[in-house]
Each structure stands twice: as structure tokens, then as C-alpha cells.
Structure 1
Amino acid sequence: MTAPACRVCGRPLRSEASRARGVGPICHRRTHSHTAVRIPTPPADHHVDGQTELPLDHHQPTLWSL
């Protein structure tokens, strides 16, 4: 199935590869960027030397929350 227009921006698709993909080359680069920075999530048992755990307190009401 080929698409006559880009599914992202609606511009007409000219190349056969873009029609088969359904997305134009510019929108394809934007949505499939390989330069995105990925931040690794720390493991559940992580500990940083010298870092102190703070107790979690309930939210204290402020003037703005009343």
C-alpha cells in the first residue's frame, strides 16, 4: 500500500521509497533520529558514596495550595 501524502505533515510524497514508507524524508529523519541522548536508568540497589538518604515527608500545605 502506498500513501499519496506524508502521514506526519501531509505533504505530497514524490519518491517511491517515501510512498512505501508513508512518511517523507524530512519527517522520517525527525522521527527516527539516532542522535538522541539515552540516559541509563540506575539499578534499584544503587548507592553513591558520600550521598545521604533524606527521609520522605508528607507534603506540607503552603499558602498557594490553600
Structure 2
Amino acid sequence: MTPCCRVYRRVLRTERSRAAGVGPVCRRRSQPRTAVRIPTPTPDHHIDGQTELPLDHHQPTLWSL
């Protein structure tokens, strides 16, 4: 008797699948899906390697002119 998948009753070809009793497609389908990680955006005004200078209150700015 040939070992078959417990889910779809297909013939299991590899030793790993025979030991688990489930084929590779069924194993992938039974695993929970992981959430896709989206990197957090960096602010538009930030440039890597650039230091931001502190702004003194009495120092004129373009907006105060």
C-alpha cells in the first residue's frame, strides 16, 4: 500500500512527506499566514547622516521676516 496524503489522498513521494503524512502543498496551506511587514516611513525632511541644528528663539527665520 502506498502512503497517501491525509488531506487530498495523493501519493506522497518524499520521505519527509511520508513521515508527516501530509504533502508539501497541504503543509503550506495548513500553516497560518504571516502578516506582511511594511516599513515605517521616515519623515520627508530627514536625510540620513544630516544633523538638525537647534533653532534659537531670537534667531530670525525666513518666516519671521
TM-score w.r.t. length of structure 1: 0.46
The structure whose residues are more often helix, as a share, is: 1
Q: Which has the higher contact order (CA 8 A, sep 6+)?
A: 1
- Largest Rg, 1 or 2: 2
TM-score when scaled to structure 2?
A: 0.47
